Structure 1
Amino acid sequence: MDTYQYKYGDRPLEGYTIQRAAGRGGFGEVYYAISDSGRQVALKVIQSYEQIELRGISQCMNLKSPHLVTVFDVKHNDQGKPFVIMEYVSGPSLADLLKEAPGGLGSQKAAFFLREIGKGLSFLHECGIVHRDLKPGNIFYENGYVKIGDYGLTKAISTSHHVSHTITVGTVHYMAPEIGAGRYDRSIDIYAMGVLLYEMLTGQVPFLGSSPAEILMKHMTAAPDLANIEEPFARVIRKALAKDPAERYGSVQEMVEDVFGTEHVRNSVSQFASEELSVVAEHIAQKIRGAQPKDGMGL
């Protein structure tokens, strides 16, 4: 069983009491906590980095969209450790859903998720924010809504440490070729959307390798295998994964519209019952909560 730094009843940050561990990410551990005023929150403990650039994340605080996991605040405890205080989402991540569907989600659910992720990502881009680390573990489903999390955090940490985003922060399977050269405009998020669409349809990412360097090289030189992917998805993925950013879609909305411009996709998604997905999501969420360490109380 995984060992987490904090247990039920701990108060690592003034004003918040840990209820249980909620998972681990690239930046550290996440906990379900209750504030002294009774608000349910997610506390993300930034473990791997001693500093966090507060200015880098301040523009991401309290953005109002049902398609974003709200970032309420960033605070340091008495020992100087940074905590990100976020909206608590009880539903599973897209990574959890994919784990339950090794062969992919199917074209109907993939198109639904693409459209809903696109709403949150378009909102971020309109606010001048590039996500930089879009991946299944940062996308959540709850009560009919798809929410994007961890936006702004990658930039805040990279800026703070003047480090390359390429290996230190982020996931190589979703990285656009130009990231190695330090380019971070919205086209890298569109590239990541192409990878996500491929993974949702097939159950695996387009480029695999035995090391980060090998995977990054494939992002720069290899073409994705689209032989078993139907249209319009194959065409859309090919364009989103173009090596040259100028050849990709100019916006997330343009990419989504290219998929939904096909009548059979529109008809399929219009018949999609989110209640069915909610039942699956709740089953997965309960399974995940049941697997978490239970300290002090059966939560």
Structure 2
Amino acid sequence: MSDPLLASAEASDLTYFAFAASAVDKPVARAEPETPRTAPGELPEVLGGRYRIERLLGVGGMGAVYRARDLLREQFGDPEPYVALKTLSEDFAEYPDANALLYSEFALTARLSHRHVVRLFGFEVDTACQRAFITLELLKGPTLDQLLSERPGGLPWQALSEIVIPLLEALAYSHSLGVLHGDLKPSNVMLADDGLRLFDYGLGQPLDGVLPGLPRLCRSRFAAWTPRYAALELLEGAPLTAAADVYALACVIYELSSGSHPFRRLSAKQAKAMELDRELQRPANLPAHCWPALRTALAFDEARRDIDAAGLLDAFRRPAPGLLQRLLRRTNG
């Protein structure tokens, strides 16, 4: 007999897409018939007459990433003519305006210039097969989910801080420029040869007033999330906010420090119904002075999650109080 909680936990590793009920129930009036749309063709061996696809590197919620050889760079003698190439998966490419959503990811991420955020090169469309694609730096190294599988007991503080601080720097920087990630999870963070990279802003969007003309994923009729890292308000249909990114990253940090998801790999809605937040305790590898900030970031209710990425970063950068400081705190308390 299968365990429904285990099945739920396994499903929560995947990014989930679903049409919201409001979009299904509400009829849409059209002023004129739609023009038939030609489906994108199969991915060719060479995209845009320039990028020869060598192998698949990974598949995400709506896209696939390949290792590709830039034939133009190779022609000019570049000894490392390799790039990563991201295009929409065949299923997702069938959606109207899907290419516009891929461009939105490019426009958002291209705004960011940070050593811990993946670097994008360009956005192009292969007119022959009607496939849009992004070229970006080719990263080598394990993702955090691979690291977690090798360290089931979590990471010691020194190793933990060397991952968490750059990751918080990347998110705080993104938020400072009005860019929300939308799908923070261990598989979207890589420990590259030259440092950590946060990548895959495919479900991200700008804050209000930033890039106002940019096409975006309409979450009122098309919801997208990875259940075990999605904040409760997202699961209940609220728009993506910086606070939702903070919740997701707090789950990742807890997992890195303890080896286990804070809420048994369940969604926030399931965990709140079971009152699992009452059982939360500081992971042994996490310094005591970091715990109050992380505990706040793990709050189910957005109103109680009153800390941002910069606040979390400050808490993790702060040195542990010395013996005298601890004694003074106890005396004054």
- TM-score by length of structure 2 reads 0.67
Partner of 1:10: 45
Partner of 1:223: 276
Identify the residue that residue 112 of structure 2 maps to in structure 1.
63
Deviation at 1:64, TM superposition (A): 1.6
Q: Which residue of 2 aligns with 1:49?
A: 92
Q: Which residue of 1 aligns with 2:222?
A: 164
Corresponding residue number in structure 1 for 2:316: 259
Aligned equivalents of 2:157 and 2:293: distance in 1? 13
1:32-89 Cα distance to aligned partner (Å, 9 max, x none): 1111232321112211322132346423226321111012233332222232222111
Residue 17 of structure 2: aligned partner: none
d(CA) in 2 for partners of 1:153, 1:243: 21
Q: CA deviation at 1:219?
A: 4.8
RMSD of aligned alpha carbons: 2.8
Q: Does 1:206 align with 2:259?
A: no
Q: Shift in Å at residue 237 of structure 1?
A: 2.6
Q: What residue in structure 2 maps to residue 173 of structure 1?
A: 228
Structure 2 CA distance for partners of 1:102 and 1:184, relative to 1, 3 Å? same
Alignment partner of 2:139: what SS? coil
Q: Match of 1:14, as an amino acid?
A: G
1:19 aligns with 2:57: no
The 3 A distance-change label for structure 1 pair 66 and 98 is same
Question: Are the equivalent residues in 2 in contact too, given 1:140–1:147 (CA < 8 A)?
Answer: yes
Q: Are 1:244 and 2:301 counterparts? A: yes
**C-alpha distance in 2 between matches for 1:33 and 1:160:** 31
1:146 is aligned to 196
Within-5 A mapping of 1:77-156: 77=126, 78-155=128-205
Deviates more, 1:102-111 or 1:140-149: 102-111
Deviation at 1:13, TM superposition (A): 4.0
Q: Which amino acid aligns with 1:146?
A: L
The answer to whether the Cα contact below 8 Å between 1:130 and 1:152 also exists between their aligned partners in 2 is no
Inter-partner Cα distance in structure 2 for 1:29 and 1:258 = 36
Q: Is the 8 A contact 1:72 1:86 kept in 2?
A: yes
Q: How many residues align?
A: 252
Following the alignment from structure 2 to structure 1, what is the Cα–Cα distance between the partners of residues 159 and 194? 12
Q: Secondary structure at the match of 1:59?
A: helix
What letter matches 2:92 in structure 1? Answer: Y
Matches of 1:215 and 1:160 in 2, distance apart? Answer: 22
* Aligned residues of 1:154 and 1:170 also touching (Cα < 8 A): no
The aligned counterpart of 2:252 is 196
1:45 and 1:197 map into 2 onto residues whose CA distance is: 29
CA distance in 2, matches of 1:157, 1:240: 30
Match of 2:109, SS state, is coil
Is 1:164–1:182's contact at 8 Å kept on the other side of the alignment? no
Q: Gapped runs of 5+ residues in structure 1?
A: 266-299
Q: Return closer, same or farther for 1:223/1:164 CA change in 2, 3 Å cut-off.
A: farther
Q: CA shift at 1:251, angstroms?
A: 2.3
Specify the code of the residue in structure 1 equivalent to 2:309.
V
- The Cα shift of 1:31 comes to 1.0
Deviations 1:215-250 (A, max 9, x none): 242354433443361423442331001123232243
* CA deviation string 1:170-222 (max 9, x = no partner): 3111111111222211111111111011110122212246xxxx624235443
Q: Which runs of 5+ in 2 are unaligned?
A: 1-41, 74-80, 206-213, 323-333
- Measured against aligned partners, the alpha-carbon deviations of 1:88-123 in whole angstroms (never above 9, x if no partner) come to 111221112112112222332222211110111111
One-letter code of the match for 1:217? K
Percent identity over the alignment is 25
Asked whether the equivalents of residues 60 and 152 of structure 1 are also in contact (C-alpha less than 8 Å), the reply is no
1:141/1:157 CA distance change after superposition, 3 Å: farther
TM-score, scaled relative to structure 1: 0.74
